[in-house]
Amino acid sequence: MSQEQAEGAPRGTLAPDLRGASNARERGRFSAQKKMGAVLRVLHGEPLDVVSRDLGVTGGTLTDWRDHFLAGAQAALKSRPADERDDEIQRLRAKIGEITMNNELLLERCHELERGRPLGLRRLRS
């Protein structure tokens, strides 16, 4: 552990002037915690190019992380507590999907039968 780490930075983090030194070790897959830390740095005003260079990722990747982070935050703020209606809604949507699929299959079977007849079925005019 470096002297600067022991004095000022919390354990497990690097002082700002040492972040670049660990660049080679941090490249690759990032945990959700590291991505969140990077996004928070950008949201707190640190320039995007500095953060992306520091972490060894492209600006586009960092922007994607930020967009996903903000979308998740927005969804969390909009959500309402789940109740028994949610289960019923999910069950009914599944039932609608099942009925729709059966109708499509039956229509296709009807069309196949009509194609097999010499004149096909004619509709009556009303």
Of 78, 96, 114, the residue that ends a domain is 78
Supply the CATH number for residue 66's domain: 1.10.10
| Residue 67 shares a structural domain with residue 86 | no
Q: Would the pTM count as exceeding 0.75?
A: no
| Residue 47 shares a structural domain with residue 104 | no
pLDDT at 12 over 90: no
| Residue 71 shares a structural domain with residue 18 | yes
Number of structural domains found in the chain: 2
| Residue 124 shares a structural domain with residue 99 | yes
Residue (of 72, 94, 84, 23) closest to 14 by Cα position: 23
Q: Which domain holds residue 111?
A: 82-126
Q: What is the pLDDT of residues 104-125, one digit of tens each?
A: 999 999 888 888 776 655 666 6
